[in-house]
Amino acid sequence: MGLEVTDLRVYYRTLAGDVKALDGVTLGVAEGEIMGLAGESGCGKSTFGNSLIRIDGRMRHVGGSVVLDGIELPIADGDAMREYRYKLVSIIPQYAMSALNPTRRIGRMIDELLESRGVRHEEYEAELRRRLALVGLQEDVLRRYPIELSGGMKQRVVMVISTLLDPSLLIADEITSALDVSSQKAVAQTLVQFRDEGFVRAMIVVTHDVSILYQIADTLAIMYAGRLAEKAPTEELMERPLHPYTRLLISSLPEMGVRFADARLAGIPGAPPSLLNPPTGCRFRTRCPLADAECETQPPFVEVAPEHAVACWKVA
């Protein structure tokens, strides 16, 4: 069944007006799929993840629908979402390390959390221990306070908690950004393992780090200024990027082996537009080397090859 998002629009109310953080995003995530969502800061990628679970009260749902496993999620209504949150759709928040209650032992916190969802924690006792062991944590973390755990351990505890009720959809928001390379790898591979074990049925991994996504994601979506720029299977997107933004983004990443002395990489000149009053037409056109008059009208997000969709007039 999976996830179907159609023309999702989410704005933030500010004194200066509405910030159009998501302006018409349409995409699907199939069952068993790990979708990577990448983009610069402020492009709306975290807003997309958060809006599916409605975690932030300042969001205003302006339009579009979200259907998960055939159920339309009431993402405009924070109270109505309570029934689905954590059970059907769950999130590993950004800065998961500070998501734990510092005054509770981990075990007690989990018990309280399960009871708040109307689940008796005894039923999950054995499963919880099994999953902790699976991510390489010893049982005695349940008797510890968060301050006694390292960053990587806290991250894994939060991952186990978020997926304990086997949600259909898991959103992982920048969960590897604050970790060292070796814990990064462990955490990223744990995500894949959770999908393989069937703890979650579909996953959206949000991060600015394209190389992590290349390692674990089945499909990649690139966002720019509140809209999708390109979406394709991971290999396809890395080998044949079509949108100028995706191309520049990938070519600006210092890969292992590339050295300043041999080949000088270039960044993307300019800065993303303000989402308070976004420009008309293609939002990348001020920074785009290919832009011309045609780009003053908004390009549609269309499939140009099987499963490969792009929003650009210059892609035939």
Under the rule (CB under 8 A), what is the footprint of another protein? 40-41, 136, 151-152, 180-186, 188-190, 208-212, 214-215, 238, 248-250, 252-260, 264-268, 271
Residue 64 or 244 having the CB closest to another protein: 244
Residue 136 or 300 having the CB closest to another protein: 136
How near is the Cβ of 273 to another protein at its closest, in Å? 12
Residue 30 or 134 having the CB closest to another protein: 134
Residue 269 or 306 having the CB closest to another protein: 269
Residue 75 or 158 having the CB closest to another protein: 158
How near is the Cβ of 267 to another protein at its closest, in Å? 4
Q: Is 252 left (phi over 0), alpha (psi -120 to 50) or beta?
A: alpha
How near is the Cβ of 131 to another protein at its closest, in Å? 15
Nearest to 200 by CA among 161, 164, 156: 164
Nearest to 241 by CA among 224, 256, 225, 226: 224
How near is the Cβ of 309 to another protein at its closest, in Å? 22
How near is the Cβ of 240 to another protein at its closest, in Å? 13
